[in-house]
Amino acid sequence: MTNFEEQATQTLFEKNHITEEQFGAIREYRGLNLFSVHNELKLLLYLSMLMFTSGIGILIYQNIDTIGHTALLGLLLLVTLTCFYFCFKKHEGFKKEEVLFSNPLYDYLVLTAVILSCTFVGYLQFQYQTFGTHYGLATLVPTVISLFCAYYFDNKSVLSIGITGMAAYLGLSVDPKQVFENEMFDNPYLSYIGLAFGLVLLLWALYAIKINLKKHFNLVYLTFSLHLVSLACIVNLFEDYYWLPFGIVLGITAYYFYNLSFQIKSISLFIFTILYGYIGINILFVRVIELIKFDDLFFLFIFTTPFYFIGSILGFIKLIKHFNKNTTDDSIR
Same domain, 56 and 19: no
Residue 262 falls within a domain, yes or no?
no
Q: What's the domain count of the chain?
A: 2
Q: Which of 165, 138, 166, 162 is nearest to 150 (CA)?
A: 162
Same domain, 15 and 97: no
Can you give the residue range of the structural domain that contains 133? 41-169
Same domain, 83 and 47: yes
Checking if the pLDDT of 196 tops 70, the result is yes
Residue 275 falls within a domain, yes or no?
no
7-54 residue pLDDT tens:
777 787 788 878 878 878 877 777 767 666 767 777 787 788 778 788
Same domain, 68 and 150: yes
Residue where a domain terminates, one of 154, 169, 184: 169
Residue 138 falls within a domain, yes or no?
yes
Residue 69 falls within a domain, yes or no?
yes
Give the pLDDT of residue 175.
52
Q: What is the pTM of this model?
A: 0.82
From CA 190, how far away is CA 236, in angstroms rounded?
11
- b/e map 107-144, b = 16+ CB within 10 Å: bbbbbbbbbbbbbbbebbbeeeeebeeeeebbbbbbbe
Give the pLDDT of residue 186.
62
CB 54 within 8 A of CB 116: no
Same domain, 94 and 152: yes
Same domain, 23 and 102: no
DSSP SS3 for 251: helix
Same domain, 112 and 1: no
CB 190 within 8 A of CB 171: yes
Q: How confident is the model at residue 181 (pLDDT cuts 50, 70, 90)?
A: low
Same domain, 138 and 49: yes
Same domain, 102 and 133: yes
Residue at 54: amino acid letter: S
Residue where a domain terminates, one of 115, 139, 169: 169
Same domain, 11 and 45: no
What is the secondary structure of 61-87 as a DSSP string? HHTTTTT-HHHHHHHHHHHHHHHHHHH
Residue 212 falls within a domain, yes or no?
no
Same domain, 61 and 91: yes
More confident residue, 297 or 170: 170
Same domain, 135 and 87: yes
